[in-house]
Structure 1
């Protein structure tokens, strides 16, 4: 068989050139991916080289030599870098393998029809060669694709960092990430150690499910200090971010809506601030900054927050631990219940008069009246400052009891101070 192939080498070379033309036309008709990446001339030359590799591999295998796989690996890596789908590449290789066998048979028949039976044992050898070449090409393709995807992830991560950190102009990174120059955006920051879980964060810059038109587009950035989501809201309300983050089961802070990619760095800072207002205990919580502005104001000024704690609640903080806990918990519950002593009593599992007595004691200690709106503001901000001082358990009140049920009909909101 080696001698026959040597004798028909020149004719086989011409036939392979014609076969490459036919296969190129067929491939372009069946698979437009090739046309977009290589064009007809480039595809024809690539196919011609692949067919020659197959014939040369057959010749080497018939002589007992190993098949040269370097060119097949180079082809796989090259087309992976260019973004050609592996399925398209393998489909063309299958067509090429069949056409090599057909062309070889035609060349042998033209040279010496009586030699055709001697060609049959070479079929198994040729299929083995084609399998080796295809495996080498596929392995090289996958390695190159993995490297390319890693580079693309790093590039997207750098673009997101530039937007979220405010490093330089935002127009270029936003355009590369497919973000409009004007729209509705928000940033969400998850607490460090949050678990992704089903539907959770993916690759940096991962837009999520492109087929889910009912959800905002999300670009995730995962770093050692936590996970950040850049949300392109479009027509969706800001509240949709809470629904999006809910399945993650994490503490998160969400910025207000901004309209330009250039404002995303500021949005991220506000999201971090919103996260600081989310309770560290009590389970998952998504804190929208605009719903927690008083607490965010306290969190943004650590020095003033400390002063506020001391000036407004200093006498309470100086009490024994149990007394301090009871008064601070009662104040927090009363504020949560919007000034309803009855509702606060239900939550605290005690009598309404007990709540009133505790609040009157707090008024005496602080010199603030819960009937005075200005004093209530001071107490609410000071209480928020105490809650946010998580690193000092001596001043952190115990968690409040869960609601005991709905407020009875006729309950009014009033100061616990009795009328004069």
Structure 2
């Protein structure tokens, strides 16, 4: 094979030059990616180099040497940087292989047709060299893509931090939003997932740009995920449908209109999450639906004081007695002050509910007929729900049946009357 190539070298070089011209023209005509991203001179030069390298690979193979693949790797890296699809790159290698074999056989036939049978074993060797070159180009391409993807992820994370962490002028926040593909004005909200939530792999599929819902850009951290939602025309409540399959606790901010407002929105989303304690299970807490509880969550020291002042005597009861009264209060609040409905949810007689509520009034010194006292009891009950941990003495009882969250209807066994 080496002897044949050396004998036809001059003619083969001319034919390879013509093949490079033909393939460059065909590629620019048939492949929109190349046509949009490259000029003919650069494409033709690179094709010509590749064809020559394939011939040299044949010669080296005949000598028992491996093919030189540095130029193929350079081509793959170059095309990745230019944004040419990998499929287009590999297709050009295949087309170049066919043209090179045609040029080789024509050159041999023109030199000595009797040599053609001796050329046939070279077909396998030629395609082996071309496969090695295409694989080397692909590996380099994918490596550049991976590095660029990592840089893009780091850049996006930094831009999201700019918007969500704050401390930058409004103009800089707007610029960061634009670089993320967000509008300068729109309808945005922030989502904060609990730290126990899933990693990036568990985030909603298509969350970065689904056509049938809000677009959400996720910032993944070890202590939880934060999402920046571009709502567009979708209502804020649509985020519940997006987050539902995750089965995690999430807090959602109110809607804001400008990127510079997202830092505050993130704080409000985190506050919304704090109104949904772990004991309540998975769910999405919209801040505007939980404003009283958010007031309690916003100042833990004051909430603890409210809890002691308003419900201290109840919390001082034996665990089961205190749980029953708190459960009854929460259910009564959820039923909008209806003793009858509360009794139905608690599976007991309405007189039992009334008796428990009277005892609660006696212990706390608050009357459920007084709206101001009801507000205090409701806020104190919210503080009970938001306690980060259950005291050891009441852990077993709380695990068996914690207080019914205000605003929910939890069916439970009939408590003692």
Q: Could you tell me how far 1:142 is from its partner in structure 2?
A: 2.2
1:324 and 2:327 are equivalent in the alignment: no
Determine the structure 2 residue equivalent to 1:378. Answer: 376
1:177 and 2:175 are equivalent in the alignment: no
Determine the structure 2 residue equivalent to 1:135. Answer: 135
Determine the structure 2 residue equivalent to 1:163. Answer: 163
Residues 38-78 of structure 1: CA deviation (Å, up to 9, x unaligned): 22222111111111111111111122221111211222222
1:291 and 2:295 are equivalent in the alignment: no
Determine the structure 2 residue equivalent to 1:99. Answer: 99
Select which of 195, 213, 216 maps to 2:198: 195
Select which of 398, 404, 415 maps to 2:402: 398
Determine the structure 2 residue equivalent to 1:414. Answer: none
CA distance in 1, matches of 2:67, 2:366: 90
- 8 Å CA contact 1:201–1:220 kept in 2: the answer is no
The number of aligned residues is 399
Determine the structure 2 residue equivalent to 1:76. Answer: 76
1:146 and 2:146 are equivalent in the alignment: yes
CA distance in 2, matches of 1:304, 1:399: 21
Determine the structure 2 residue equivalent to 1:357. Answer: 355
Aligned in 2, Cα 1:197/1:156: closer, same or farther, shift over 3 Å?
A: closer
- 8 Å CA contact 2:327–2:402 kept in 1: the answer is yes
* RMSD, aligned CA: 2.0
Residues 305-324 of structure 1: CA deviation (Å, up to 9, x unaligned): 11111222222222222222
Aligned in 2, Cα 1:157/1:201: closer, same or farther, shift over 3 Å?
A: farther
Q: Structure 1 or 2: larger helix share?
A: 2
Q: Could you tell me how far 1:403 is from its partner in structure 2?
A: 4.0
- 8 Å CA contact 1:190–1:251 kept in 2: the answer is yes
- 8 Å CA contact 1:196–1:248 kept in 2: the answer is no
Determine the structure 1 residue equivalent to 2:260. Answer: 262
Q: What is the correspondence of 1:37-52 to structure 2 with a 5 Å cutoff?
A: 37-52=37-52
CA distance in 1, matches of 2:132, 2:124: 12
Greater CA drift, 169-178 or 181-190: 169-178
Residues 217-255 of structure 1: CA deviation (Å, up to 9, x unaligned): 111111111011111100000000011101111111111
Determine the structure 1 residue equivalent to 2:116. Answer: 116
CA distance in 1, matches of 2:35, 2:320: 77
CA distance in 2, matches of 1:200, 1:273: 21
CA distance in 2, matches of 1:322, 1:399: 11
Q: Could you tell me how far 1:196 is from its partner in structure 2?
A: 6.0
Q: Could you tell me how far 1:198 is from its partner in structure 2?
A: 8.5
3-state SS, counterpart of residue 220 of structure 1: strand
- 8 Å CA contact 1:345–1:351 kept in 2: the answer is yes
CA distance in 2, matches of 1:228, 1:36: 37
CA distance in 2, matches of 1:199, 1:53: 46
3-state SS, counterpart of residue 214 of structure 1: coil
CA distance in 2, matches of 1:301, 1:45: 69
- 8 Å CA contact 1:346–1:403 kept in 2: the answer is no
* TM-score using structure 1 length: 0.90
Determine the structure 1 residue equivalent to 2:415. Answer: none
Residues 148-191 of structure 1: CA deviation (Å, up to 9, x unaligned): 22221222122112211114221222111100000001111111
Aligned in 2, Cα 1:9/1:303: closer, same or farther, shift over 3 Å?
A: same
Determine the structure 2 residue equivalent to 1:340. Answer: 338
CA distance in 1, matches of 2:329, 2:9: 96
3-state SS, counterpart of residue 170 of structure 1: helix
3-state SS, counterpart of residue 109 of structure 2: helix
Greater CA drift, 340-349 or 32-41: 32-41
- 8 Å CA contact 1:289–1:296 kept in 2: the answer is yes
- 8 Å CA contact 1:197–1:248 kept in 2: the answer is no
- 8 Å CA contact 1:327–1:362 kept in 2: the answer is yes
Aligned in 2, Cα 1:197/1:41: closer, same or farther, shift over 3 Å?
A: closer
Residues 84-105 of structure 1: CA deviation (Å, up to 9, x unaligned): 2111111111000000111112
CA distance in 2, matches of 1:197, 1:70: 36
- 8 Å CA contact 2:330–2:403 kept in 1: the answer is no
1:15 and 2:15 are equivalent in the alignment: yes
1:213 and 2:216 are equivalent in the alignment: no
Residues 86-133 of structure 1: CA deviation (Å, up to 9, x unaligned): 111111110000001111122223333443333222222211211221
3-state SS, counterpart of residue 227 of structure 1: strand
Q: Could you tell me how far 1:27 is from its partner in structure 2?
A: 0.8
- 8 Å CA contact 1:253–1:272 kept in 2: the answer is yes
